[in-house]
């Protein structure tokens, strides 16, 4: 009985990690999520940084809080394949770019 337990434990320890991606998980860019109705604003799923231009190196205008409503003004696809959204914060009225 003891040998069976060790064999099961050893086989699980050898096979289970093969199902995981390298590094233990995937790292994804944050996604904006839409509320129930299509006319309602988007909500920020995490704390984000509003940038003044659609570039990774662009200066940060300010933070976007978790759950803050945003209006999408337009979108931009950069030459390197990144997708950027120009948004307006509905509370403060600030406009800027988010990597989306």
pLDDT digits (tens, 9 = 90+) for 71-96: 888 888 888 888 998 989 888 889 99
Could you tell me if residue 1 is inside a domain? no
* CATH (domain of 50): 2.30.30.40
Q: pLDDT tens for residues 56-76?
A: 889 999 888 888 888 888 888
Helices (H), the chain: 2-15
Could you tell me if residue 35 is inside a domain? yes
Q: What is the pTM of this model?
A: 0.59
Residue 42 near residue 51, CB atoms below 8 Å = no
Could you tell me if residue 62 is inside a domain? yes
pLDDT band at 38 (very low <50, low <70, confident <90, very high): low
Q: How far apart are CA 50 and CA 73, in angstroms?
A: 14
Residue 80 near residue 70, CB atoms below 8 Å = no
Structurally, the chain folds into a number of domains equal to 1
- For residue 95, the model assigns a pLDDT of 93
pLDDT of residue 27 exceeding 60, the answer is no
Give the mean pLDDT of 30-48: 65
Range of the domain at 34: 29-99
């Amino acid at each position: 009985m003891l040998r069976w337990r060790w064999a099961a434990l050893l086989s699980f320890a050898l096979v289970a990690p093969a199902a995981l991606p390298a590094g233990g998980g995937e790292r994804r860019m944050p996604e904006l999520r839409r509320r129930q109705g299509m006319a309602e604003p988007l909500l920020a799923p995490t704390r984000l940084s509003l940038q003044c231009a659609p570039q990774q190196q662009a200066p940060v205008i300010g933070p976007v809080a978790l759950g803050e409503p945003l209006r999408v003004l337009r979108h931009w696809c950069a030459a390197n394949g990144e997708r950027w959204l120009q948004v307006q914060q509905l509370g403060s009225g600030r406009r800027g770019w988010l990597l989306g």
